[in-house]
Amino acid sequence: MRKPEDAKSDSGLRGDYEGAAADYTVAQDWDAYPEETHDRWRRLYARQSRLCAQYGAPQYLSGLARLDCAGGIPRFEETNAVLSTATGWKIVPVPGFIPDGVFFDHLANRRFPVTRWIRDEHELDYLVEPDVFHDFFGHVPILLDPTFADFLEAYGRAGERAMAMDALDMLARIYWYTVEFGLIDDGGTLKAFGAGIVSSAGETVYSVTDPDVLRLPFDPVRIMRTAYTIDTFQKNYFVLDNLDQLMRGLVELDFGPIYQEWRAAPPIPIGERLPGEQPHPAALAPVKETQS
């Protein structure tokens, strides 16, 4: 993930950072969304919910159903009523990318920053910065899962140490390969739960059906050493057996010695398979792409 050096000034980011508070939150200003932006949301939602019904993880899908947000850009206050009861999380509106330290602090306090603006009509398939569709449709449903909710808070608390140890790249790869691009084994079938996948029509299908992509078993140190691409579909994914692995494998693991050992080493190139590595068992027969 790229981030602004100083997002509040001239950063090349398209959100409006002018009125933002010290923690980079803004008002959602729901009444100011033109009707055409709600219509755009409905079309994105319809396409993506159909694809996710087939390729999305059950933990993600159950959250999506409970959010009941097919009809237009959600009012964040209404979302927060559902979210706070379920897992104690809330979402806060932001202008876009925010500095790492601020981002971690929100997560550590169970606040998920959601960009308020929606992509333009010509960007329905792809955009560079996160918008409200990616942030909300991709990230919020799984925050209703209690295990994932606890994991993401712990991830936020881990930020300070990673920054102090000059190992932010390694921690960011954890986020990338789980929160953004994670796959999970659903009784022998690969499913997607990462926000970057489930908010993208192309990658939802590709991530679980492409026969050539590398899908390795979840392995924290391997992930922390693996480079990633921000502007094409991923060339490797990591597959969880279940969401508890995030707690047992990451929260309970002491990253300090791992940072120390690997932070100065060049990362493993994208898509490279190391000697002896085998795909996750559920990835031996990738899901067949079917019409529905």
Ligand X SMILES: N[C@@H](Cc1ccccc1)C(=O)O
Ligand Y SMILES: C[C@H](O)[C@H](O)[C@H]1CNc2nc(N)[nH]c(=O)c2N1
Give the count of beta carbons closer than 10 Å to the beta carbon of residue 61.
18
Residue 177 as a binder of ligand Y (CB under 6 A): the answer is: no
Give the chain's length. 292
Candidates 41, 97, 133, 137; binder of ligand Y (CB under 6 A) is: 97
Strand 90-94, strand 189-192: pairing:
unpaired
Residue 154 binding: pick among ligand X, ligand Y, Fe ion, none (C-beta 5-8 Å cut-off by kind): ligand X
Out of Fe ion, ligand X, ligand Y, none, what residue 100 binds, judged by CB under 5 to 8 A for its kind, is ligand Y
User: Which residue in the set 251, 262, 263, 271 belongs to the binding site for ligand X (CB under 6 A)?
Assistant: 251
Residues 55, 58, 63, 69, Cα dihedral to 10°: 30
Q: Which member of 46, 253, 274, 284 binds ligand X (CB under 6 A)?
A: 253
SS3 content of the chain, % helix, strand, coil (to 5): 45, 10, 40
Are residues 64 and 52 in contact, defined by beta-carbon separation less than 8 angstroms? Answer: yes
Structure-token pair, residue 115: 């960009």
Is residue 239 classed as helix, strand or coil in its secondary structure? strand
Contact by Cβ (8 Å): 198, 44: no
195 near Fe ion, judged by CB under 5 A: yes
Whether 139 has a binding-site annotation, put simply, is yes
175 binds, among Fe ion, ligand Y, ligand X, none (CB under 5 to 8 A by kind): ligand Y
Stretch that binds Fe ion, among 63-71, 189-197, 219-227, 233-241 (CB under 5 A): 189-197
User: In DSSP terms, which residues pair with 239 in a beta bridge?
Assistant: 183, 217
Considering only 60, 76, 103, 177, the residue that binds ligand Y (CB under 6 A) is 103
Residues that bind ligand X (CB under 6 A): 154-155, 158, 161, 174, 250-251, 253-255
- The residue ranges that bind ligand Y (CB under 6 A) are 1, 3, 94, 96-98, 100, 103, 113, 130, 168, 172, 175
